[in-house]
Structure formats: structure tokens, C-alpha cells
Amino acid sequence: MLYRLIIACMTVFALGYLALTAQIVLDPWSETEAFTSRTMPYIYGTLLTACLLALLFRSFAVAKPASADKQGLSSLALLLMALVGFVVLLPLVGLWLGLSVLLGTSILVLGERRWWAITAVSLTVPLIGWMAIEWGLGITIPL
Amino acid sequence: MFEGILTGIETALTLQNLGWVVVGCFAGTIIGMIPGLGPISAIALMIPVSYSLDPAGGLIMMAGVYYGAVFGGSTSAILVNAPGVASTVATSFDGYPMARAGKAGKALAIAAYSSFAGGTLSALVLLIFASSIAFVALEIQSTEYAALLLLAMSSVVVFAKAGERLPSAITLLLGLIIGTVGTDQLGGVQRFTFSRLDLADGIHFVLLAMATFALAEAFRLVLLGRPQATQAVGFRDLIVTKSETKRLSKVVARSSILGFLIGVLPGAGATLASFFAYDLEKRIGDGTREAGVAAPEAANNAACTGSFVPLLSLGIPGSGTTAILLGVMLAYGLQPGPLLITEQPAVFWGVITSMYIGNFVLLALNLPLIPLLARLINVPHGMLIPLVIGFSMIGVFLTTFSVFDLGLMIGIALAATLLRWHGFPLAPLLLGYILSGLFEENLRRTWLLSAGQFDYILNRPVAVVILLACVFIWITPLLTKRQR
């Protein structure tokens, strides 16, 4: 069921891509040309739609994917929340502090409970990163 | 020429220049391991150091940085499925599964030996045929490129595993579509950017590679919770047996030649070389994972050497990396081109000879590090997955400095995890993305040159042969199926 839903979503994506291709604003002098900035997107979008429709009709015969347990799904959901939190936090606290929080929470989400291990990794890695990149290579990070 | 080679050996073997090769290879390897900092960044970062050296020393060091960065990229591709450089994507196809199966040391050792052999063989070819090859490469123009790229894409679909052809075609097309985002290089028109400045330059390669390989793999591991292989890596794992050597030497030889020839073509480079070599090996080779690591590694290193041919002989940079090297040469007051051989023989032959020495130094430097690096796989998933995620985030942020790109990477990674979970191969997606811009550019140039006339292609025999090969690989499976 999910497989067919994925293909259906991709078909909608392909059709949307074709619709957006039609809206690409061309330069006045290239509008009359046969090969424009729209040509390749039209070809790719059409081919993708055709391939997806072909797969949609074949999808009943596809082997079932490996099953994911409830714990895996909830861990992934929490991990995604930690990642979204990192993206939100980044402009506010900067890369290295944000990274430290991200590492700490994701280690916690994945089942580690030894506080010293969590602290050591979430502090050491950003520190090494800062030393190697900003101090060692002299790259200035804007955030 | 022999006098030139002797001059080169004399220049490259001075204690000072040998020292710079070591520095270049070491710095390149370390920088190359960090996703987002590939050969281009590595060379750019070492420019200030090179200016304090004489031209020969500076260029010799830069060549070492180039090799080192490509090899460093292979290490992260094999160990954590994070190919930070496009040319190491093909290495991760078989290298990462080997690492997951407890053979990380072996995979890294094969990568190191194959890189060495590929680099050495191509350095010898470069030494002998440098100037003559460059002029032949110039004959390959837009039409031939477009045909070559079509052949590359066709082979990815046609030679996919049974039942995976349609999913491969779909992910290849998705990659081609992602490649159309941003400013159209020839038309100057914004496409699919939704008026966002972050998308004006398109979606960055590092973002897509990290999302579809490193992050998607981390998500998949969390979702499915696969058991972890333990590695007990010692120096014994670095030894390649006699039978393996015999088997892999053929793989390395053909991949090196292929890689060198593709590397010589301006614009093609190590990425295309590694994909072609991997593909060729899967078709005509024994199909083992060891060969799947050796082929792209030999090819990408050979292509790196090959890319120096148009740069040194004609002054034409074939890739972004060699373009920066051209800038370094110009800053030294050197004018690359046919006159470089006669006016600056020490520099020309010194750089070429140092490539051979550089490959040896790279092998000697990296072999002792392999047991240490391979132990990274033994880190428990609860620690390794957050590290891979952190590694990916730093890599993408260092490349684009954009928070929007981080969000985009998470979205693409989630979609990639779903696709991979349901049996869609992701390698064609990355290949499609890499080839998208090149394919469109060359196809459009061909159209402009031909003025829409088909006769134009018929008058280009190399393009006709490549297109016929393309038709042949599409027809062969159909005929074989019919015969059965």
C-alpha cells in the first residue's frame, strides 16, 4: 500500500514539475528557438511520468520491503525532531553549540544512557571540529 | 624527452620537494576526509602555503594535495557511506557493504593499492604521451560528450539488476530533474528556484550526496535496526593474497586506462571515470565487491593524472580543481601550454615525475593508518549514527553556509530513505544529478552547432560510434530475452 502511495506521490511530483516547467520565464530572444531552457525539463518530466505510470501498473508484483518495528519508527521520529530542532537553533546559538546539542539529544534518542559518554562525545566532537576548521584551517563560519 | 624525464626526476627527488609531496599528500588526505571539503577546497586552502615555495615545489605539493584529497574522500565513503567527493560515490557502492560485513580494513587496503596502481600507471602514460594525447582529446567536442553521457546513463539503466531497471530509470530521472534546479548555464534563466536565492546556484552536490547516502543510511539503520559487524583489523588485513592480486591486477589495469582516457577529456573528470569503471567491471568482471572497490579507485586516481594533460600541455583546465591549479601557475608567472615544456622543463617534468612519487608517498602514509581508521566501524550504532549525522551537517553547512540547505537535506534524506526502503537504487539518482548540467549543456551546444540538422551528427564518426554503442546496449537485452 505504502509502495503504491510513494509512486502516486512521485507521479504528482512529476506532473507538478511539468506544470512548473511551463511557467519558466524565457528570454524574449529565445522564445522562438526550438531548444530552450524548458526543453530538457519537459523531456525529463514526461519520461518520469511515463516510467512511474508503468511502475504503478506493475506495483502489485513487487516484493514486500523489510519491516520496521514500532521502536524504529519512534526513534526515527525523535531523531527527526532533534534535527529540525538543530536547524531552528543554529541561527540562534551558532554551529558548534547547536552541534553539541544535536549530538547529545541524538545519542540519548538512540538509547545511550551513560551520562559521561553522552557529555564526552557531545563536547569533544564540536571542540575538535572548531579547532580543526576554524582554528586550524582558518575558515570563518558566519554563525 | 628522456632528458626531460631525467630533469624531472632530479627536480622531484630533491629533499625539499620530497618533503612538500609528503606535506601535500598528508594535508590532502585529512582535508579530503571531511565531507564538503573535497579536492577543490583542499587545493584552495593550500594556496597560501604554496605561494611561499618556488614554482616547482609549490606545484609538486599541490599535486600531492589533489591525490590525497581524492583518497581521503574514499575513506569516508567506505567507512561511513559519506562520499564527500563525487568521484568517490562509486567506491561506496561496494566499499560500504564490505565495511558493514566486517571487511573495512580489506576495503581500505584495496582502495589504497588500487589508487596507487592507477595513479602510477597513468603517471607513466602521462610521462610518455603527455603532449600527443592532449591534441587528440581536443577532437572530442560537445556532440561526442553528449553521446558519451547518454551512453553512461543508458548503461546504468540497462545493466541494472533484474527487476531494478524501471526503478533505476526513475531515480536517474529524479537526479536529472534535481540537476535542473537553479540558473540555466546557457540561457541564464532561473528554473524551479521559487525566487529563493538559496536555490539560484542549484542544489549542491555535497548536500545531495550526504542526504542520499550518509543521512539516508543513518535513518535506515535507525528504522530497521540491522545488527552491527565487528571489525578486528590488524596489519594482516592489509595483505592482498596472490590470487586476489592476480584477479585485481586485471581490474586495475583496464580501469586505469579507462580512467586516464576519460580524465584527459576536458569536463569529464574523475567522477565519470569512476562510474564508467565500476559499470564496466560489473559487466565484464567477476562482479566481486573487491573488484567493485578497486575499479573506481584506480579509475579516479588515473583520471586525476589524466586531467593534468590538457592543463600542462595546452593550458586548458579540464575540471574545477585543475582550474584552481591553473590560477596557481599563472600566479607563479608560468604560462601552461605547449611552450611550458621548452621554457620551464624543470617545472613541467618535475610535476609529472612527482605524480609517480606522490602516489608512492600516499600509499606509504595511508597504509599504517588503515587499522586505526577501520576501527571507526566498531563504534556502537548509538554513537556512530549521531556522529554520521553531525558529520553530514558540518559538511553541508561548510559548503553552503545556508540553514535552508540543512532543512532541504533532511527532507531529501527522508524521501531517499523511503525510496531505498522500497527497493529504489539511489546511485543512479546521484549519477543523474552529476550528469544533468553537462548533458544539457553539450546537447544544447550540439543543437546550436548543427542548426537542428541531423547530418551534422553523421559527419562526426566518433559520436556516431558512441551512439551506435548506446543503441546496441539497449537492444541486446531485448534480443537476449527474445532468444530465451
User: Residue B137's pLDDT is what?
Assistant: 63
Q: How far apart are the first and last CA of chain A?
A: 43
User: Residue B69's pLDDT is what?
Assistant: 84
Q: Is the pLDDT of residue A46 over 90?
A: yes
Compute the half-sphere exposure of residue B457: CA atoms within 13 Å on the CB side of its CA.
20
Identify which has the larger pLDDT, A57 or B436.
B436
The residue written with cell numbers 579540464 in the block is B318
User: Residue B155's pLDDT is what?
Assistant: 79
Nearest by CB to B166, from A39, A54, A125: name it: A54
Q: How far apart are CA B63 and CA B304, in angstroms?
A: 9
Which B residues in the span 130-189 are in contact with A, Cβ-Cβ below 8 Å?
A: 166-167, 169-170, 173-174, 176-177, 180, 184, 186-189
DSSP string, A77-142: HHHHHHHHHHHHHHHHH-HHHHHHHHHHHHHHHTT---HHHHHHHHHHHHHHHIIIIIIIS-PPP-
Beta bridge partners of B191: B182
Q: Are B402 and B200 in contact (CB under 8 A)?
A: no
What are the angstrom distances between the C-alpha of B89 and each of B78, B85, B296?
9, 7, 9
Nearest by CB to A87, from B180, B225, B403: name it: B403
**Chain B closest-CA separation from residue A44 CA (Å):** 6
Residues of A in contact with B177 (CB under 8 A): 17, 41, 44-45, 48
Question: Does an H or E element contain B402, and which?
Answer: none
**In a 10 Å sphere around its CB, with 0-12 CB exposed, 13-18 middle and 19+ buried, how is residue B481 labelled?**
exposed
Q: How far apart are CA B256 and CA B243, in angstroms?
A: 20
pTM of the model: 0.77
And the C-alpha cell for B222?
A: 535507525
Q: How far apart are CA B303 and CA B306, in angstroms?
A: 5
| Length in residues, chain B | 484
Q: Are B293 and B449 in contact (CB under 8 A)?
A: no
Total Cβ atoms within 10 A of residue A9:
13
What A87-90 contacts at long range (C-beta under 8 Å, 24+ apart), as own/partner pairs, is A87/B403, A87/B406, A87/B407, A87/B410, A90/A143, A90/B397, A90/B403, A90/B406
Which residues form the domain of B346?
2-483
Q: Are B352 and B130 in contact (CB under 8 A)?
A: yes
Using only C-alpha atoms, chain A has a radius of gyration, in whole angstroms, of 23
Residues of A in contact with B167 (CB under 8 A): 55
What are the angstrom distances between the C-alpha of B190 and each of B16, B147, B171?
50, 26, 24
Nearest by CB to B166, from A55, A121, A139: name it: A55
Q: Please state the domain count of chain B.
A: 1
pLDDT tens, N- to C-terminus, chain B (484 residues): 667 777 777 777 788 888 888 888 888 887 777 765 667 767 777 776 777 788 888 888 888 888 788 888 888 888 878 776 777 888 888 888 888 887 888 888 888 889 888 888 887 887 777 666 656 666 678 888 888 888 878 877 887 777 788 999 999 999 999 999 999 888 888 999 998 888 998 998 878 888 888 888 889 888 877 655 555 666 666 777 888 888 888 899 999 988 888 887 765 567 788 888 888 888 788 778 889 999 999 998 888 888 777 777 766 666 667 777 777 777 777 777 666 767 777 777 777 777 777 888 888 887 887 777 766 666 787 888 898 898 888 888 888 889 999 999 999 999 999 998 888 888 889 888 888 888 998 899 999 888 888 888 888 888 898 899 889 888 877 776 666 5
User: What are residue B226's phi and psi, to 5 degrees?
Assistant: -70, 145
User: Residue B116's pLDDT is what?
Assistant: 87
What are the angstrom distances between the C-alpha of B470 and each of A14, A79, B3, B154, B342?
26, 44, 44, 7, 42
Q: How far apart are CA B85 and CA B108, in angstroms?
A: 16
Share of chain A above pLDDT 70, in %: 92
The residue written with cell numbers 602514509 in the block is B365
Q: Does B368 touch chain A (CB under 8 A)?
A: no
Optimal mutation site among A106, A118, A119, interface B, most CBs of chain B within 10 A: A106
Type of residue at B59: L
Total Cβ atoms within 10 A of residue A116:
7
Nearest by CB to A72, from B192, B225, B401: name it: B225
User: Residue B398's pLDDT is what?
Assistant: 83
Q: Is the pLDDT of residue A84 over 90?
A: yes
Inspect the interface and report whether the beta carbons of B386 and A110 lie closer than 8 Å: yes
Residues of B in contact with A111 (CB under 8 A): 382
Beta bridge partners of B190: B183
**Chain A closest-CA separation from residue B280 CA (Å):** 25
User: Residue B135's pLDDT is what?
Assistant: 63
Using only C-alpha atoms, chain B has a radius of gyration, in whole angstroms, of 22
Inspect the interface and report whether the beta carbons of B397 and A141 lie closer than 8 Å: yes
Inspect the interface and report whether the beta carbons of A102 and B386 lie closer than 8 Å: yes
Q: How far apart are CA B416 and CA B431, in angstroms?
A: 15
Q: Is the pLDDT of residue A55 over 70?
A: yes
Residues of A in contact with B195 (CB under 8 A): none
Inspect the interface and report whether the beta carbons of A35 and B398 lie closer than 8 Å: no
Please, what is the Cα angle at A118 between A114 and A123, to 5 degrees? 150
Total Cβ atoms within 10 A of residue B323:
14
Q: Does B47 touch chain A (CB under 8 A)?
A: no
